[in-house]
Structure 1
Amino acid sequence: MPATAAPAPPRVRLLLARFSHTGLVFAALFYIIANTPSLLPRPWWMQGLVAALSGVCGYVLGLALGRLVHATARWLGLHVTMNPRRRVLLGRIGIAFAALIVISFPQATIDWQREVSRQVDVDGPGWWYPTGSTLVAVVVFVLFILVWRGLAGLTRFFLTKVSSRIVREAAARLVASVITVATVVVAIDVVVEPAVLAVVGGNADRVNQQMPRGEHAPTSSLRSGGPGSPLTWNSLGQDGAKFVAAGPDAKQIADVTKKPAKEPVRVFVGANESLDKSADLAVAELDRTDAWKRKAMLVITPTSTGYVNLWGAASFEYLLGGDTAAVGMAYSNLPSAFGLLTAPRDPGKASQILLEKVRRRVDAMPAAQRPKVYFT
């Protein structure tokens, strides 16, 4: 009698078991979401890592929903039968569709990624970018799923003495899920987040150091970065430099209002090592420009790197005939979304510190000489 191959051990069969079709569908959807354009361009390996972790979360969600649907169907006494061959065929079609999405979607969105790179003046990804990110995503995704199954198998092996198979299965999946989720969290905290912040910080510094195209340093001493200002135009960052370089002068205001106008004061300070230092520099600039003698003062809260609504500031100056002073300061070199992640309290603290220092100086002046202070 010919010898037959011994069946594979339970742990090996567990590792080689087929993937959940529902899990793969949700993994593909989460993979698509992860490959949509980001705020800043990512290296190909980071894009693949982010897509893999997103896919793992989608797979777990799909797997849980699939289990829930099956459990509900059993509880309701519903039985759905399907021809075994057609069921296999349908499963293969689903897997093929998911594989097609994984391969084609990064290729289809390469123009989006190049547009993101163009917006921050960095070289766009080449043809190899989607291929490399896809390979990283697939490998990392499979590794995480295999880790989950391997942990489940080990837990089941150690719980073989438990009489109830249901308890054994549930405990194995629970332990594996907890350890896998913990691994994902640690990976995000230890690897992904520092890597993302390093890349974002590098790109942000490069962007901040590039002065706005078509703009030049102010020629008025009433603006930060202009003649007599201890702050250089380059120290204001790209958004701050744009703020002091833009806006109407006295002639432009007079041409619109048909009334005599003053040259507006615009003060801005780039991000420093402390918010207090930035606010002190801003107050010193207000001293230098005699801003306290103006009719009104506008304390502006920009975005983290210093973006200011230029139309809003200009409207303030037009309406008051240029007898104004506008002041603001950056509080981070990172874009707003990442600034909130690293220092969520800084936006509020920056606004509060600057406003309090301005109000303290105004309150110390004679009542008849105080400018009106507005805050935005």
Structure 2
Amino acid sequence: MIQYGRSFSFVGLVVGMFFFAASVTPSLLPRHFVTQGLLSGFAIAAGYAVGFAAVGVYLLAGFRQPPPKIQTISRWTSGVIVAITFMAFLWRMTFWQNSIRELMEMPDLETAYPFRVALIAILWAGLLIAAARWFLVACQWVSAKLERFFPRRFSIALGFSLVAFTAMVFANDVVVRSLLDAADSFFAQADELVDDGMDPPADSSMCGSDASLVSWETIGYQGKSFLTTGPTSEAVSQFWGKPTPPAVRVYVGMRSRPTMRERAELALEELKRAGGFDKSVLVVATPTGTGWLDPSAVDPLEYLHGGDCAIVSMQYSYLPSWITIVVDPRRSIESGLALFDAVYDYWKTLPASDRPRLYLHGLSLGSLGSERSADLFKIFEDPIHGSVWSGPPFPSQKWRSAIASRNPDSPSWLPTFRDGRLLRFTGESNSLEPDRPWGPMRNVYIQHASDPMVWFSPDLAWTRPDWLNDPRGPDVSPHLRWYPIVTFLQAAFDIPMATTVPIGFGHNYAPASYIHAWIAVTQPKDWTNEMTTRLQSDFQARATPKP
């Protein structure tokens, strides 16, 4: 056991401990101690690899090791520094976690369980490093066998390549594929669940009813929720103080038709049947990975327009967005494009004076699919009227291009784009400047400074991001610092937890943000500031947990 311990790279362990210290500093979201422990374990393993590789490069470059006495002094000195740093950063963990929680209006923690974090991290890092060492042993064994037939250096390179290729194939085609198949099967079964209260609509005009072209059994859990839990016509009429027509909602599930194009065609035919093109406002909405449409986003629209609106959407995945975006982000793009093409190609054949205004909407992965669906060259002939996108994920090219081209005096987390006539950004508070003039097409991105789905990027591993420049977002800890590799790991671990924080932070977007965005983009008729305040209060009351 002692011999095994001595076999570890001392420099690797030192760097790994410094990586651990950096990993317990704040990131975008607060973390549970188990999540923090796993993250810190990855950080230790990554730091060990960096230190081990640095020693290898040093020796390959021809430098000699220092004399034994110098090595001993260096080890004791660095060991003391590491121990002090390790304990100091553990001691500050609770303070750092609370620095995020305070900004997100969450109660302070009495403790972040630093020693539990350290134990989990060390055990997990040990497993990761052991796996890496076995990988190197396998490389050495294969290389030794190859030396019978090839020169030594060529054998080392070929042995490493063969083992790496085998490991990648095993990881991708066996481990990862099995996990993804299991996840897909689990979420597919969850999608088929039907709560006792989710009965088919009795109104024959509604999607999923007996008269509907879309079979209720094929819609899926999220679609059924969207179709049955929206505002009633009575509630909207009561808000307006006069009778209002029922809004139109159309949703097509993955089991409704075998291909995306067939599902899009079915959605179009159902939209026609339900009277969606007779409304004043029509929204083509791309859902999240699970097929979910945020009620905070879609419900206000029906109040704003007194039921004189229609929303059409279709499912493209069973998996959560943070998994789908890694596995196959093109699903949302292809689905959004298929649905928009079907609706737009029919919409533009209608008389301009007798058709609804056409808008796009998407949250999270749905934002990625939605923003790519309306090709500018296609809609030049007959422009749509605008869009509301929220929580755009990091692969969103149009969003990223707009951020890169923002006015230089604006921060990336709340940018201004040119004169604001075409595109505006907003976040935790309303920043849409309603008094400034708009152009004929109005587009809004809603984004939080603390949303890891938005701000994660592979280049976080080696580049300090703009969103850490001053001034920072109001929900980003002032103690957050950029560290190479570590900040990348922190943001990656934040993504699955992005919706675990209160509404208005992280990847949870508040109804108030959507209300302001839809008002700015769709310009509801006869709407007043008093009605805005009343609607915000109503949705705030719904979002507030009851005692």
- Is 1:370–2:355 an aligned residue pair? yes
- Structure 1 residue 305: deviation in Å? 2.6
What residue number does 1:210 align with? 193
Q: Distance in 2 between matches of 1:219 and 1:159?
A: 76
**TM-score when scaled to structure 2?**
0.46
What residue number does 2:297 align with? 312
CA contact (8 A) 1:268 1:328 kept: yes
What residue number does 1:178 align with? 161
What residue number does 1:223 align with? 206
CA contact (8 A) 2:41 2:123 kept: no
- Structure 1 residue 300: deviation in Å? 0.6
What residue number does 1:63 align with? 52
Amino acid at match of 2:295: L
Q: Distance in 1 between matches of 2:347 and 2:213?
A: 23
What residue number does 1:361 align with? 346
CA contact (8 A) 1:56 1:145 kept: no
Distance 1:270 1:24, change over 3 A: farther
What residue number does 2:370 align with? none
CA contact (8 A) 2:146 2:155 kept: no
Q: Distance in 2 between matches of 1:25 and 1:313?
A: 52
- Structure 1 residue 59: deviation in Å? 5.2
Distance 1:176 1:282, change over 3 A: same
Larger C-alpha radius of gyration, 1 or 2?
1
Q: Distance in 2 between matches of 1:59 and 1:233?
A: 54
- Is 1:323–2:311 an aligned residue pair? no
**How do 1:230-309 and structure 2 match up within 5 A?**
230-272=213-255, 273-309=258-294
Alignment equivalent of 1:199, drawn from 169, 172, 182? 182
Q: Distance in 1 between matches of 2:202 and 2:209?
A: 5
User: Could you tell which deviates more after superposition, 56-65 or 364-373?
Assistant: 56-65
CA contact (8 A) 1:292 1:370 kept: yes
Q: Distance in 2 between matches of 1:23 and 1:85?
A: 17
Amino acid at match of 2:248: V
- Structure 1 residue 331: deviation in Å? 1.0
Q: Distance in 2 between matches of 1:189 and 1:55?
A: 24
**Alignment deviations for residues 195-229 of structure 1 (CA, whole Å, 9 cap, x no partner):** 11111112111211123586544333343223422
Q: Distance in 1 between matches of 2:302 and 2:263?
A: 24
CA contact (8 A) 1:149 1:176 kept: no
What residue number does 1:151 align with? 139
Distance 1:350 1:26, change over 3 A: farther
- Structure 1 residue 233: deviation in Å? 3.4
**How do 1:35-50 and structure 2 match up within 5 A?**
none
CA contact (8 A) 1:261 1:321 kept: yes
**How do 1:94-173 and structure 2 match up within 5 A?**
142=130, 145-152=133-140, 155=143
CA contact (8 A) 1:222 1:266 kept: no
Q: Distance in 1 between matches of 2:51 and 2:74?
A: 22
CA contact (8 A) 1:254 1:260 kept: yes
SS in 2 for 1:81: helix
Q: Distance in 1 between matches of 2:208 and 2:302?
A: 19
Amino acid at match of 1:152: Q
SS in 2 for 1:266: strand
SS in 1 for 2:69: coil
User: Could you tell which deviates more after superposition, 352-361 or 175-184?
Assistant: 175-184
Q: Distance in 1 between matches of 2:317 and 2:234?
A: 34
**Alignment deviations for residues 264-310 of structure 1 (CA, whole Å, 9 cap, x no partner):** 11100111421111111111211221222112211111113311121
Which runs of 5 or more structure 1 residues have no equivalent in the other structure? 1-14, 34-47, 95-133
CA contact (8 A) 1:53 1:141 kept: no
Q: How many residues align?
A: 304
CA contact (8 A) 2:138 2:163 kept: no
Q: Over the residues paired in the alignment, what is the CA RMSD in angstroms? A: 4.7
Q: Distance in 2 between matches of 1:232 and 1:173?
A: 60
Q: Distance in 1 between matches of 2:59 and 2:69?
A: 13
Q: Distance in 2 between matches of 1:260 and 1:79?
A: 90
Q: Distance in 2 between matches of 1:21 and 1:237?
A: 55
Alignment equivalent of 1:19, drawn from 8, 33, 37? 8
More helix by percentage? 1
Q: Distance in 2 between matches of 1:226 and 1:328?
A: 17
Q: Distance in 2 between matches of 1:180 and 1:263?
A: 62
Q: Distance in 1 between matches of 2:15 and 2:220?
A: 42
**TM-score when scaled to structure 1?**
0.64
- Structure 1 residue 342: deviation in Å? 4.3
- Structure 1 residue 21: deviation in Å? 3.8
Which runs of 5 or more structure 2 residues have no equivalent in the other structure? 24-37, 83-121, 362-547
CA contact (8 A) 1:237 1:305 kept: no
